[in-house]
Amino acid sequence: MTHVTEDDLDDLEFDTLRSGDHTSAAERLAALAESVSGGVSRAKVLLRAGEQWQHAGDHAKAAELYRRAIEDGGDAYGDPRAYLADALFELGRKDEAQALVEQIRADVPTDPEVYRTVAEVLYEQGDVSGTYDWATAGADVVLAIRDQGDRSSAEDSLEALLRLRYRARVDLGQPEDEYDNLLDDLLKN
C-alpha cells in the first residue's frame, strides 16, 4: 500500500505537462489508485487518472475511471459525474451525459466548482443556454457563501463562473446585467 499526498499528484501532473505524455501519466495514476492507502482518496486518484486519459484522447478509458471513482465513493473534488458526463459527450453518448447533468442539477450542489465544471462541459458541447444557466446558478452559490461571511473559499470559482456566463450571455445576445458589473469589479481588483 502507498501513502499518496496532493503534492505527489501535483508533481506527477506537472511532469506530464512538461513531457506531454498523458498516456503514461494516466497509466501511472490508475496503477497508483490500486495501491493508495493514505493521504488522498482512491476516488481522487481515479479522477486524476481519468483526466489524463481525456487529455490523451482516450475518452472510453477516462469514462471507465470516472465510473470507478463514482463507485468508490471516496472524497473527490467537484462531482465525478460531471467528468463522466464530459467523457460521455466526447464518446457521442449525449443522452447518458445529459442524464448525469440532470442528476447533478437535481442534487442542488453547494460546491461552485461543480457548476463551473458542468458549465464548461456544456459550453464545449455548444449548449450555450445550459452554460448560461449553470454559470448563473454557480455564481449565485458563491454569492450566498459570501453572504454567510466566507469570502475566500469560492472567490476563484466566482471569476471563472462569471467569465463563462459572460461568454454565454454574449452568444445568446442578451443585454448586460448585474453579473457583468460584478465581473468588471472583480477584474479591477
The helix-helix angle for 155-172 and 128-147 (nearest 10°) equals: 150
For residue 137, pLDDT beyond 90: yes
What pLDDT does 134 receive? 98
Q: Report the SS3 class of residue 37.
A: strand
Task: Please state, in angstroms and rounded to a whole number, the distance separating the CA atoms of residues 179 and 7.
Answer: 35
Whole-number average pLDDT of the chain: 89
pLDDT confidence of 13, banded at 50, 70, 90? Answer: confident
| Residue where the block lists cell 464530459 | 86
Per-residue model confidence as pLDDT tens digits over 98-124: 999 999 999 999 999 999 999 999 999
Element (H, E) at 170: helix 155-172
pLDDT, greater one: 161 or 36? 161
